[in-house]
Chain A
Amino acid sequence: MRQLLFTGFNAFGQHEFVNSPRDECAASAGFREISAHDGGNNNTKNQCTISFDWRYTAYALCRKLWLRGLLETEPGECVEVEAPGEIKALAAGDSHCLVLLCTGELYKIQPKLEATLQAIRLENPPRPSTATKRTIFGAVKAPAPPSIEHIACGTNINVAVSSENAVFSIPSCLHQFPDRQWRVQQLECGHEHALLLNGNGDVYTWGNGLRGQLGQAALCVEETPQLIESLAGIKITGIAAGGWHSAAISAFGDLYTWGLNCSGQLGMRVMKPNGLQKEPTVYPLPQLHDLPDCCCCSSRESGAEDTDVCEPLKVFAGSRHTLLLRRCGRLWASGWCIHGQLGKQLCEQNFLDAFQALHGVDADLDVVNVLCGPWATLLMVTQKKSVSTDDPIS
């Protein structure tokens, strides 16, 4: 059964705890189970989709959509809305939540009590004139509206990518990547920048790069997607966008981070000779990490051939924290933790400035996926199977 374990900022009752629904704890420090609205369904088709904003959380299951949190006056306010079709993805932002249907149609909804879904009309991408479609009577056929596959949003940015690789800064079309050469694998947004990963393993960034978010040598604003040259040639398999930082993992199991390191979110510890930390520090170019051995490596009896067993597998980021899932199933983390973003035992510290193993998750649980909110972390876990062929540790 899939469970959702939450830690972090919950001052507005965005999340309903399973064991104590009337919990007053504003900063939930330590992982605790929250209600998933889907009865813990193991069938991925029937699992709810979740997206965090700072003051509310959006949940979707089939055609139903819920917004929960501080919507107008009190914490724990909740609205339920039915979408015209099955919901594929959500992207919650401060002023609205983007709602993508399985049909490729895009809607938005404001986080307030009288909320309704509003269709978003996207500008059609420019097409070469030869491609103009005509009806059998010769009249120009109106081009079909773009079918959206990926969405993401941040404080100052809303993006979508269509099935034909058109990139939108909603609602205008920013850029048209060559159609059919590759598909978009992942799209992520920080507060004011966007990252796109394609099937070739290339990473493109655009938006505000004044804090080094874009992975480019020059600190500037880029209107259109730019390839990160310094990662070109390295096949990237996963990306993450924090508030003002970014992270990527390569097929070789290498972790790269770049951007702002004001709260240790890059996991780059920088000490000056006099012991003063140099901060806030901006790393405009991707930094390769040499991670310490995972604790499960050293305890293995025959560790010789399996150095890959703990390599980074996926990376996730909140406003100022970064989580890393290693192949062995352990979570590592760095960054801001004062609101309980990284669990309980770190609460007294303001932030971690280097990656370290995250404790507080039961050893008999498998972390299937992670979702970072601005100041929160959500783990999607299942009970470990006792013996299993696809369990990487056995």
Chain B
Amino acid sequence: MDGPLLELFPRFDDLEDLLRNEVEARYILKKATDHLDGIKSNDKAGEEEEIRYLICAVVDRNWERIHTGHFSVVPVTTRQIYAIACFFKIFFLLLESTDPRQKEKCSGILDEAQLLGCTDDWSELKAALMEYLDKGQQETAEPLPILAAVLRGSCACDIPQLDAPGLNEFQTKCFQPQQPTLLLNTIKHWPAMDKWRDLNYLLQVAGNRTVPIEIGSNYASDEWSQQLVKIRDFLRRQFVDQSGDGCREIEYLAQHELFAQIPALKADICVPDYCTLSGAEETPAAVDIKAWLGPAGTISPMHYDPKHNLLCQVFGSKQIILAAPEDTPNLYPHESEFLGNTSQINAAELDLKTFPLLEQVRFYKLLLQPGDCLYMPPKWWHYVRAETPSFSVSFWWE
């Protein structure tokens, strides 16, 4: 670690307000920041091992606090302390060694700080650490495939289609009447359209990041679980060597805020103008941008979301089945609190014996292809299945 990187670490003065009522974090982070000051001024460093242990204890302790109660009610202070403690944990690990294995371990800790903690006040330090840790991590294994660019196939579409409509046209024909519409050729200009098909590019800019992956073909099934994995391992498992054993489970990087985590990927997309429209007069709320990356066969079962949704297809194609909010009583939503917005049916293969009311539902089918976006108004039911390896980006706004 060089001087400029060390300068980005918080000093105790920066943390004093945050730690006012935090007895243990104040005691431990004081020791850690003092130790860092000592190193910067070349003082002899004592009790390093003990402070390193204490920092690990603060990380573990705040991990427990973050996992107690619902995530939405965890105090921001707790998540800030967690992130800062993670930064210092990385600092002490790098004092110990800076070999590739240690750096790899530190990357994992940085990702956890990003995923669970609140790093907003320290984005410069986070970016600098990320760059430092990625430097010199070379790919030794064989390269990943480059997916072929495919031309649009013609296929049936049960909803209106518009070719790259302007903002006004979108407002009058789609947004105001709450009409789901397939918007063709709307994201052709994204750098992502050319870059992302080369999986080696994703590997290079994102391989070292840890992300939550859904395992199992659909989130409403009992076999489903979630795991934190490195994008590198996920890409190798899901996009290389598809022959294999057949018992390989489908993994899906779904509904993840990847672009907040990896600024380089954010630069490859643009938020479509359509997302600036809002029902009210006031300025539109922030747009949630989520990534959906997986092999062929990933399924999002029939469900609805509360916001406006623009699903943009970068590579691969997805079969989509829609149903209107009016049909909600006929779609058999799950009764549990968690899955209340999800239907029990398999929209691709209707079982009218078990779910007779489905006979009354009007379903709309379409195929989402690269360069196209699907606009879905709030509460519209949708079932999504990837026909090929696929990368989509969704924009949610109110």
> CA–CA, A255 to B229, complex, Å?
33
Say whether B64 contacts A74, CB under 8 Å. no
> CA–CA, A61 to B108, complex, Å?
47
Say whether A220 contacts B23, CB under 8 Å. no
The residues in A between 315 and 371 inclusive whose CB is less than 8 angstroms from any CB of B are 319, 338-339
Minimum distance in angstroms from A208 CB to a CB of chain B: 7
Binary contact track B232-259/A, C-beta < 8 Å → 1, others 0:
0000000000000001110000000000
Minimum distance in angstroms from B113 CB to a CB of chain A: 18
Binary contact track A234-251/B, C-beta < 8 Å → 1, others 0:
000000000110000000
Please count how many residues in chain B sit with their CB below 8 Å of the partner chain's CB atoms: 24
A156-B68, A210-B70, A218-B336 given; A281·B23 CB < 8 A: no
The reply on B364 being an interface residue by CB < 8 A is no
The reply on A54 being an interface residue by CB < 8 A is yes
For B70, the chain A residues whose CB sits under 8 A away are 210
The residues in B between 42 and 96 inclusive whose CB is less than 8 angstroms from any CB of A are 50, 53-54, 57, 60-61, 64-65, 67-70
Say whether B338 contacts A273, CB under 8 Å. no
For B27, the chain A residues whose CB sits under 8 A away are 70, 73-75
A218-B336, A243-B64, A276-B227 given; A55·B24 CB < 8 A: yes
Which of B24, B64, B215 is close to A319, meaning CB atoms less than 8 Å apart?
Answer: B64
For A244, the chain B residues whose CB sits under 8 A away are 67-68
> CA–CA, A276 to B213, complex, Å?
13
For A374, the chain B residues whose CB sits under 8 A away are 64
The residues in B between 148 and 163 inclusive whose CB is less than 8 angstroms from any CB of A are none
For B249, the chain A residues whose CB sits under 8 A away are 272-274
The reply on A97 being an interface residue by CB < 8 A is no
Say whether A273 contacts B247, CB under 8 Å. yes
Binary contact track A159-192/B, C-beta < 8 Å → 1, others 0:
0000000000000000000000000000000011
The residues in A between 1 and 29 inclusive whose CB is less than 8 angstroms from any CB of B are 9, 11-12, 24, 26-27
Binary contact track A64-85/B, C-beta < 8 Å → 1, others 0:
0000001111110000000000
Say whether A11 contacts B57, CB under 8 Å. yes
> CA–CA, A272 to B61, complex, Å?
29
Minimum distance in angstroms from B348 CB to a CB of chain A: 26
Say whether B69 contacts A208, CB under 8 Å. yes
The reply on A200 being an interface residue by CB < 8 A is no
The reply on B337 being an interface residue by CB < 8 A is yes
> CA–CA, A147 to B68, complex, Å?
31
> CA–CA, A11 to B61, complex, Å?
12
Residue of A nearest to B51 (CB): A26
The reply on B172 being an interface residue by CB < 8 A is no
Please count how many residues in chain A sit with their CB below 8 Å of the partner chain's CB atoms: 37
Say whether B50 contacts A24, CB under 8 Å. yes
Minimum distance in angstroms from A173 CB to a CB of chain B: 23
The reply on A278 being an interface residue by CB < 8 A is yes
Minimum distance in angstroms from A282 CB to a CB of chain B: 10
> CA–CA, A73 to B68, complex, Å?
26
Say whether A191 contacts B64, CB under 8 Å. yes
> CA–CA, A71 to B24, complex, Å?
9
Minimum distance in angstroms from B223 CB to a CB of chain A: 10
> CA–CA, A278 to B225, complex, Å?
7
A218-B336, A220-B337, A273-B247 given; A155·B54 CB < 8 A: no
For B24, the chain A residues whose CB sits under 8 A away are 12, 54-55, 70
Say whether B53 contacts A55, CB under 8 Å. no
Residue of A nearest to B65 (CB): A155
For B57, the chain A residues whose CB sits under 8 A away are 9, 11, 26-27, 339
> CA–CA, A243 to B57, complex, Å?
16
Which of A26, A70, A71, A219 is close to B53, meaning CB atoms less than 8 Å apart?
Answer: A26
Say whether B65 contacts A26, CB under 8 Å. no
Minimum distance in angstroms from A114 CB to a CB of chain B: 14
Say whether A274 contacts B53, CB under 8 Å. no
Question: A11, A73, A155: which has the most chain B beta carbons within 10 Å?
Answer: A11
For B227, the chain A residues whose CB sits under 8 A away are 276, 278-279
Minimum distance in angstroms from B125 CB to a CB of chain A: 26
Question: A26, A70, A155, A274: which has the most chain B beta carbons within 10 Å?
Answer: A26
Binary contact track B315-342/A, C-beta < 8 Å → 1, others 0:
0000000000000000000001110000
Say whether B337 contacts A26, CB under 8 Å. no
Residue of B nearest to A208 (CB): B69
> CA–CA, A210 to B71, complex, Å?
11
Minimum distance in angstroms from B215 CB to a CB of chain A: 8
Minimum distance in angstroms from A285 CB to a CB of chain B: 13
Residue of B nearest to A374 (CB): B64
A12-B24, A219-B338 given; A26·B68 CB < 8 A: no
Say whether B69 contacts A192, CB under 8 Å. yes
Binary contact track A135-169/B, C-beta < 8 Å → 1, others 0:
00000000000000000000110000000000000
For B337, the chain A residues whose CB sits under 8 A away are 220
Minimum distance in angstroms from B118 CB to a CB of chain A: 19
For B64, the chain A residues whose CB sits under 8 A away are 191, 243, 319, 374
> CA–CA, A247 to B67, complex, Å?
20
For A278, the chain B residues whose CB sits under 8 A away are 215, 225, 227
A191-B64, A278-B225, A279-B227 given; A11·B23 CB < 8 A: no
The residues in A between 206 and 247 inclusive whose CB is less than 8 angstroms from any CB of B are 208, 210, 218-220, 243-244
Which of B50, B54, B60, B68 is close to A192, meaning CB atoms less than 8 Å apart?
Answer: B68
Minimum distance in angstroms from B231 CB to a CB of chain A: 16
> CA–CA, A11 to B225, complex, Å?
36
Residue of B nearest to A9 (CB): B57
> CA–CA, A155 to B50, complex, Å?
26
For A281, the chain B residues whose CB sits under 8 A away are 225
Say whether B23 contacts A70, CB under 8 Å. yes
For B50, the chain A residues whose CB sits under 8 A away are 24, 26
Residue of B nearest to A94 (CB): B65
16 A–B contacts, CB within 8 A, in A order: A11-B57, A26-B57, A27-B53, A70-B24, A70-B27, A72-B23, A75-B27, A155-B65, A156-B68, A191-B64, A210-B70, A244-B67, A273-B249, A276-B227, A281-B225, A319-B64
List residues of chain A with CB under 8 Å of any chain B CB: 9, 11-12, 24, 26-27, 54-55, 70-75, 155-156, 191-192, 208, 210, 218-220, 243-244, 272-274, 276, 278-279, 281, 319, 338-339, 374-375
| Those 10 A-B pairs whose CB atoms lie nearest each other, nearest first | A191-B68, A26-B53, A155-B68, A55-B24, A278-B225, A273-B247, A26-B50, A192-B68, A11-B54, A11-B57
